[in-house]
A and B are shown apart, each in its own frame.
Chain A
């Protein structure tokens, strides 16, 4: 390997060694590693997303019911100007925001207790205990919540919650929000917990020494430092809630969110209209990612 060590280091535009901290390596090794995953992500994924945007402009053949390549703006105008659909989108965003806030409100004190107050042994156990349900199955949890939230009936065989506390929200938007928060809670907890663990004690001590109470320290020191972690967690809770339509079916009763409309259009089948509806969550998420990216979320994903 002597000859390799004597090779002049390759230098990139930024003046850094190509191999980072390691040895210089031929660039073809990089492309060998990158080619397959990049081809997959670009061709299969980004290609499909681009095609989806285009096909929102396709029209439907009247006879065969299949999309043609004839261009039209009627799908877009239906999806983006009709009041019924706009209010549906607003409702979907409201549910996703509410679920995200609920996740944050519960994850913040929980993560703080685990990272800062619990003993080393309980800390480990609590983290594992709270992450494990992530892998028990989406539908399992949604159905479990259905059994919990079901409204009581006159026959006395209502849900668990109405039996226990005498009240339940019943099936609807509240139940959907609660279920989504239940489902995605670990996605918010994990990054906040990791952020709290990295937070140096000295900063909190300094804040206390300068006379700040715990609430003030939380607001002025901890929260700004945790912002990237919170933003990262919120990407998952918001995105997963925004596109959800199955939870709506299970605990939503008559509730409808944007995902249900997409599914309905697809089953109609009206592929171009479904594509046009899908542009809504896509655009909202791109905007959301842009805002959260500014808050430093991508360093914590």
Chain B
């Protein structure tokens, strides 16, 4: 496609403008976490680290951080196991109803979170199950399965099928083939899917709100609940910055792992 130098320049400018718009608000939150004022309004009044120093004393924030991490870890584990099983089944076999199942797998992220959240809550309440840690795990695992599944199936598609055939021809049992041939090839994709599932769960707020009872508060819920409380509001910027600082390198790692060439 022949593009005039002007068109090229415009496209380039749009791209870098988008990049700027994407990162500007994030930079803003970072700057505001050092604001000495008790508000999150721009411009900052003065420089202060008092919110960062006081942050560790906010017990509710610590608890929320901890329960979010526990939650995301369990949801990630379920997602990796179920998502990988699903990916193997869909990649290696042809069977009746395969398309329906692939559609079913993406449904939890294709439907709005509020639909998933209200539906699960409705079920839990009707059957008298307590809303708490386990109900939130169930909700999170439901949409995390998709992420794990997508990562694993993408990798499985790129592995040459003759590797497994060669392994079998050399006398390996299916389990040996999995352990010595398939697993080393998909390991990084499973890990990447797991990390993304963890991040997705760590960040989720809608399904969480509807499936969590009074006993549990996740990090996003903590942020949301303190949004309307002026005394704690500046801590929200600290928490937000922390989340960013922790999640950016992890997401970068997941990206690298997911892209890395098998073998």
Q: Do B106 and A298 touch (CB < 8 A)?
A: yes
Number of A-B contacts (CB under 8 A): 301
Q: Which residue, of A14, A126, A144, A214, has the highest number of chain B Cβ atoms within 10 A?
A: A144
Q: Do B220 and A139 touch (CB < 8 A)?
A: yes
Assembled-state Cα–Cα distance A47/B108 (Å): 13
Assembled-state Cα–Cα distance A240/B203 (Å): 14
Instruction: Map CB proximity to B onto A121-140 as digits: 1 under 8 Å, 0 otherwise.
Output: 00000101111111111111
Instruction: Map CB proximity to B onto A1-17 as digits: 1 under 8 Å, 0 otherwise.
Output: 10011000000111011
- The residue that B244 contacts in the complex, of A21, A136, A266, with Cβ under 8 A, is A136
Q: Do A113 and B12 touch (CB < 8 A)?
A: yes
Q: Is A166 an interface residue (CB 8 A)?
A: no
Q: Is B109 an interface residue (CB 8 A)?
A: yes
Q: Do B145 and A30 touch (CB < 8 A)?
A: no
Least Cβ–Cβ distance between A262 and chain B, in angstroms? 6
Q: Do A143 and B236 touch (CB < 8 A)?
A: yes
Majority-rule SS of A interface residues:
helix
Question: Residues of B contacting A222 with CB < 8 Å?
Answer: 1
Q: Do A274 and B165 touch (CB < 8 A)?
A: no
- The residue that A52 contacts in the complex, of B105, B119, B173, B243, with Cβ under 8 A, is B119
A136 in contact with B108 given A38-B101, A128-B252, A298-B102 (CB within 8 Å): no
A46 in contact with B104 given A1-B173, A143-B40 (CB within 8 Å): yes
A136 in contact with B115 given A38-B101, A214-B2 (CB within 8 Å): no
Q: Is A40 an interface residue (CB 8 A)?
A: yes
Q: Do A239 and B28 touch (CB < 8 A)?
A: no
- The residue that A157 contacts in the complex, of B41, B164, B220, B252, with Cβ under 8 A, is B41
Question: Residues of B contacting A74 with CB < 8 Å?
Answer: none
Instruction: Map CB proximity to A onto B16-52 as digits: 1 under 8 Å, 0 otherwise.
Output: 0011011111101100100000011111000000000
Question: Residues of A contacting B240 with CB < 8 Å?
Answer: 137, 139-140, 143-144
Question: Residues of A contacting B19 with CB < 8 Å?
Answer: 126, 129-130
Q: Is A75 an interface residue (CB 8 A)?
A: no
Within 8 A of B (CB), among A37-62: 37-38, 40-42, 44-49, 51-52, 55
The chain A residue with its CB closest to the CB of B237 is A143
Q: Do B95 and A18 touch (CB < 8 A)?
A: yes
Q: Do B42 and A22 touch (CB < 8 A)?
A: no
A148 in contact with B85 given A129-B19, A204-B1 (CB within 8 Å): no
Q: Do B1 and A137 touch (CB < 8 A)?
A: no
Question: Residues of B contacting A289 with CB < 8 Å?
Answer: 110
Assembled-state Cα–Cα distance A72/B205 (Å): 32
Q: Do B165 and A20 touch (CB < 8 A)?
A: no
Question: Residues of A contacting B260 with CB < 8 Å?
Answer: none
Question: Residues of A contacting B224 with CB < 8 Å?
Answer: 139, 246
- The residue that A117 contacts in the complex, of B8, B32, B111, with Cβ under 8 A, is B8
Least Cβ–Cβ distance between B223 and chain A, in angstroms? 5
Q: Do A109 and B113 touch (CB < 8 A)?
A: no
Question: Residues of B contacting A138 with CB < 8 Å?
Answer: 203-205, 220
Q: Do B171 and A160 touch (CB < 8 A)?
A: no
Question: Residues of B contacting A233 with CB < 8 Å?
Answer: none
Question: Residues of A contacting B183 with CB < 8 Å?
Answer: none
Assembled-state Cα–Cα distance A20/B165 (Å): 12
Within 8 A of A (CB), among B120-177: 120-123, 125-126, 138, 141-142, 145, 149-150, 161, 164-165, 168-169, 171-174
A163 in contact with B165 given A113-B14, A243-B112 (CB within 8 Å): no
Assembled-state Cα–Cα distance A157/B107 (Å): 44
Question: Residues of B contacting A131 with CB < 8 Å?
Answer: 251, 255
Assembled-state Cα–Cα distance A148/B110 (Å): 29
Q: Is A177 an interface residue (CB 8 A)?
A: no
Q: Is A80 an interface residue (CB 8 A)?
A: no
Q: Is B261 an interface residue (CB 8 A)?
A: no
The chain A residue with its CB closest to the CB of B123 is A48
Q: Is A110 an interface residue (CB 8 A)?
A: yes
Q: Do B86 and A34 touch (CB < 8 A)?
A: yes
Q: Is A104 an interface residue (CB 8 A)?
A: no
Jot down 6 A-B pairs with beta carbons below 8 A, ordered by A: A12-B96, A22-B92, A41-B104, A158-B42, A163-B43, A274-B118
A-B complex: 4 closest residue pairs judged by Cβ atoms: A243-B112, A144-B25, A135-B251, A33-B89
Residues of B within 8 A of A (CB): 1-4, 7-8, 10-12, 14-15, 18-19, 21-26, 28-29, 32, 39-43, 81-83, 85-86, 88-89, 91-96, 101-116, 118-123, 125-126, 138, 141-142, 145, 149-150, 161, 164-165, 168-169, 171-174, 196, 199, 203-206, 210, 220, 223-224, 227, 236-237, 240, 243-244, 247-248, 250-252, 254-255
